[in-house]
Amino acid sequence: IGYAALGRACSRSQEISRGMVLAARTLGVDLVMRDNEFSPPKALANLDVFLNERVHLVIEHQWSDSAGEVIAARCRKAGVPLMALDFIHPDSYYYGPDDAEAGKVSGQFLREWTEQNKRRPDRIIVIPPRGTSANRQAFLTGVRAGLHQRAAAAPSVEIITTDGLSSSDAYRAVRTALQQETPKRSILVAAGSDAYAIGAGRAAARAGLESGVAIVSLGGGHAGRGQLLRDGALRANVATFPETYGE
């Protein structure tokens, strides 16, 4: 089996990779492992390695639409089945969260949080997961459905995008969005990853807005679950337990 990890710098990718290695050892499967380094050209180069090694299955963890199309076409031509992790690829077996349902659960939690705390949201911010256009749109559609399911009125959804994948990238983007906010405002944030949620939480704390901010993250890895135990703006995880992917 050829397995291409998203990137070593990502805690989610690290957890998935550890699970893959453990499962391969347990089952006696030969695992050819490469790191995509968040780079579409690197992902294509890694695919060359897998096809030259004549693997029986390619497990791909990469976020680019264009690279995904090329990878799918080359696997199809070589007669090698393709499994895509987290990010939808054409003609592949998909393994990962249902982004629409995860977004809907996120939106429902945020709406219920405002009801339980007797708050009317002043702003709703969504940081979609970095990935294919299908994943991002599904998450955003789900969040909107969950938020407005029973709400008579709510502010429009603001979308904040970042080119990076780290908590620092999200921190900078959300900090800019919150610069003019006052502590009495209620702000809801649906984050497409644990890293984005952690970064958004740091931005809320820096702005002195934690008490009025509710953040929910998609991911639920060790970092996200650990952050949830602290008394901060992160209120919930929609957990996918990445350490179990290898199972």
Q: In what order do the strands lie in the sheet with 2-5?
A: 32-35, 2-5, 58-60, 82-85, 93-95
Low-confidence ranges of the chain (pLDDT < 50): 151-152
pLDDT at 131: 77
pLDDT at 150: 53
Nearest Cα to 218, choosing from 191, 242, 187, 188?
A: 191
**pLDDT tens figures, 9-32:** 888 999 999 999 999 999 999 999
Q: What percent of the chain is predicted at pLDDT more than 70?
A: 96
Q: For residues 200 and 233, is the Cβ–Cβ distance under 8 A?
A: yes
Q: β-pairing, 123-127 with 157-159? A: parallel
What is residue 113's three-state secondary structure?
A: helix
pLDDT at 184: 75
- pTM reported for the whole predicted model: 0.87
pLDDT at 163: 67
Give the chain's count of helices (H) and strands (E).
8, 10
pLDDT at 154: 61
pLDDT at 152: 47
pLDDT at 118: 86
Q: How many CB atoms lie within 10 A of CB 43?
A: 24
In the numeric block, which tokens belong to residue 133? 């256009």
Measured CA to CA in angstroms, residue 226 lies from 17, 41, 217 at distances of 20, 34, 12
